[in-house]
Amino acid sequence: MKYRTSPSAFDAHLKDFLEEKVSQFNRPAFIADDPVCIPHLFSLKQDREIAGFLAATLAWGQRKTIINKSKELLKYMDNAPYDFVLNHQEKDLSKLLSFKHRTFKDTDTLYFIAFFKHFYRNNQTLENAFIRGMEKDGENLEVGLINFHRLFFSLPDFPQRTKKHVATPERNSACKRINMFLRWMVRKDNNGVDFGLWQKIKPAQLICPCDLHVDKVARKLGLITRKQTDWKTALELTENLKKLDPRDPVKYDFALFGLGILDKF
């Protein structure tokens, strides 16, 4: 199915097609082979937040490798990430020094732990880090993402190299991994994949994660017209998805990603 019309020409056929694909992929069977399985290993809200953020940060490369590396990192944290970040001793950090995934190295891991320790000493949920400066009924999370990035790197002597692992719209990044994490935390339905843990951010404010699979399919459907893939592209995609469902546009991430993974579209 290919749409070569402009976004203004979207009709019920495209919506029906994507709704069918959402139903196909947004179900518990999706979890096992996707990084979302990592926060599903936990029941405590803070464990899910920390494990989910780490898994999303490591989410580049093959999904099987991402899942295995995420489990490896959490094992070093005694599979209790919230307790570890709050109560670890200096000697407990030594076992993290052997962890790496592509360009994510020990320096990055240690800074992530330091930020989480600092943050959770004063907050009960990571959601608070994403709503700083946001208007309650703001159009999207752009301001929240920018302020989160500033907060994340507000500790003294943060490693400059770690900045490449946390995206921000200020650098015109599509922010695909962090948007995926936010989808996990914010979206609410009864399908059992996304958690709906956070209440202050609305599903309508989310931005669609724009990875290679989503990008490829969205372009074929005419949902993206920009040549490059950046923050403005993610906004364009999300605005077009809002024409299909203004309250929950990012649910179509399941459809676009699933079609891309199948590579039959």
Q: Rounded to two decimals, what is the model's pTM?
A: 0.94
Do 146 and 57 fall within a single domain?
A: yes
* pLDDT of amino acid 10: 55
Helix axes 212-220, 252-262, angle to 10 degrees: 100
* pLDDT of amino acid 150: 98
Do 68 and 28 fall within a single domain?
A: no
**How many separate domains does the chain show?**
2
Residue 82 amino acid letter: Y
Do 138 and 192 fall within a single domain?
A: yes
- Domain limits for position 59: 34-202
**Which of 178, 202, 226 delimits the end of a domain?**
202
88 contacts 114 by C-beta, under 8 angstroms: no
Do 162 and 128 fall within a single domain?
A: yes
H or E element at residue 19: helix 12-25
Do 27 and 39 fall within a single domain?
A: no
Q: What count of Cα atoms within 13 Å lies in the side-chain half-sphere of residue 122?
A: 5
CA–CA dist 5, 240 (Å, integer): 12
* pLDDT of amino acid 5: 47
* pLDDT of amino acid 264: 63
Tokens of 153: 């790197």
pLDDT 10s digits, 193-212: 999 999 999 999 999 999 99
What's the length of the chain? 265
Do 167 and 220 fall within a single domain?
A: no
Do 61 and 171 fall within a single domain?
A: yes
CA–CA dist 42, 80 (Å, integer): 9
Do 3 and 52 fall within a single domain?
A: no
Do 42 and 148 fall within a single domain?
A: yes
Mapped onto helix, strand or coil, the DSSP state of residue 175 is coil
46 contacts 125 by C-beta, under 8 angstroms: yes
Residue ranges of the chain with per-residue pLDDT less than 70: 1-11, 264-265
φ, ψ for residue 192, nearest 5 deg: 85, 5
φ, ψ for residue 104, nearest 5 deg: -85, 110
Do 164 and 226 fall within a single domain?
A: no
Please count the other Cβ atoms lying within 10 Å of the Cβ belonging to residue 228.
Answer: 8
pLDDT 10s digits, 118-142: 999 999 999 999 999 998 888 999 9
* pLDDT of amino acid 262: 82
For the chain, the straight-line distance linking the first and the last C-alpha, in angstroms and rounded, comes to 8
Q: What count of Cα atoms within 13 Å lies in the side-chain half-sphere of residue 72?
A: 15
- Output the CA–CA distances (angstroms, integers) from residue 88 to 26, 80, 83, 147, in the order listed: 37, 11, 8, 27
Do 21 and 39 fall within a single domain?
A: no
Which residues, in sequence order, are CB contacts of 265 under 8 Å at separation 6+?
1, 217, 220, 259
**Which of 181, 202, 223 delimits the end of a domain?**
202
**Which of 167, 202, 237 delimits the end of a domain?**
202
230 contacts 173 by C-beta, under 8 angstroms: yes
Which residues, in sequence order, are CB contacts of 184 under 8 Å at separation 6+?
36, 39, 52, 56, 194, 195
Do 73 and 134 fall within a single domain?
A: yes
